[in-house]
């Protein structure tokens, strides 16, 4: 094989072209290394090391999970208790349901009776007021009538007195605590109680052994002796 002469410059260029092949030695350090291009901003940011997350954050998350589990369990228990109560209330014994219905019906009847009593009482009160009004009107009318009634005419009083003079007083008696006088009118005998009317406006005022006293509405007295006439 013929010998080739390679200059040092050509040999360096060949090594440069071969690149970073480690199989080829480079005792003189002529090989060019292709350093990777890096971003300056990335190098700058790489200098700052992110701090580690605090430990209490992990503990808080764990505690929150436990609380959520407890709340979910409590909510589930409440739902179960409510459903159980609803089921028990709907599945009561028929006797209890009948008792409740009867009690409700009795209460309704009592309410109706109370309202009826109230209405009856109101009607009775209205009727009582009407009666009181009528009584007041009657009393007022009687007062007016009493004021308008005057003494008996003198002519009639004189005629009544003449009639009584023809009567005879026959005696007196007391029966059952009532004092009575016996008169004979010329036609029949009459027993008259003390204080009662005898004839016309004349009233039996007093009874004595031998005579009786009669008084008219004007206050005039007339004596009728026993077995005599005046």
The DSSP code sequence of 117-135 is: HHHHHHHHHHHHHHHHHHH
User: Would you say 143 and 135 are in contact if contact means Cβ atoms under 8 Å apart?
Assistant: no
Tell me the domain boundaries of the chain. Answer: 58-91, 102-149, 157-225
E strands, the chain, in order: 168-175, 178-184, 189-193, 197-199, 202-207, 211-215, 221-225
Burial class of residue 224 (count of CB atoms within 10 Å of its CB; 0-12, 13-18, 19+): buried
- Confidence band (pLDDT; 50, 70, 90) for 3? low
Which DSSP state fits 226?
B
Tens digits of per-residue pLDDT, 48-82? 444 554 544 555 556 667 777 788 888 888 888 88
Tens digits of per-residue pLDDT, 149-208? 455 456 677 788 888 888 888 888 888 888 898 888 888 888 889 888 888 888 988 988
User: Would you say 31 and 16 are in contact if contact means Cβ atoms under 8 Å apart?
Assistant: yes
- CA dist., res. 128 & res. 123, Å (int): 9
User: Would you say 203 and 189 are in contact if contact means Cβ atoms under 8 Å apart?
Assistant: no
pLDDT of residue 47: 47
Which DSSP state fits 148?
H
User: Would you say 160 and 202 are in contact if contact means Cβ atoms under 8 Å apart?
Assistant: yes
Q: Architecture of 157-225 per CATH? A: Roll (2.30)
């Amino acid at each position: 094989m013929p010998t080739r002469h390679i200059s040092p410059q050509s040999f360096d260029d060949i090594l440069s072209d071969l690149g970073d092949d480690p199989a080829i030695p480079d005792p003189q350090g002529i090989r060019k290394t292709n350093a990777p291009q890096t971003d300056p901003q990335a190098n700058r940011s790489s200098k700052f090391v992110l701090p580690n997350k605090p430990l209490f954050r992990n503990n808080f998350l764990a505690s929150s999970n436990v609380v959520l589990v407890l709340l979910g369990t409590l909510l589930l228990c409440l739902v179960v208790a409510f459903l159980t109560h609803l089921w028990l209330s709907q599945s009561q014994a028929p006797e209890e349901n009948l008792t409740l219905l009867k009690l409700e019906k009795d209460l309704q009847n009592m309410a109706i009776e109370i309202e009826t009593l109230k209405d009856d009482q109101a009607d009775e009160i209205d009727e009582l007021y009407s009666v009181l009004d009528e009584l007041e009107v009657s009393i007022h009318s009687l007062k007016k009538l009493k004021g308008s009634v005057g003494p008996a005419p003198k002519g009639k009083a004189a005629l009544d007195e003449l009639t009584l003079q023809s009567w005879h007083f026959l005696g007196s008696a007391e029966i059952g605590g009532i004092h009575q006088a016996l008169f004979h009118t010329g036609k029949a005998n009459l027993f008259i109680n003390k204080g009662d009317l005898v004839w016309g406006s004349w009233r039996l005022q007093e009874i004595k052994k031998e005579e009786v006293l009669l008084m008219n509405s004007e206050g005039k007295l007339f004596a009728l002796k026993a077995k005599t006439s005046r």
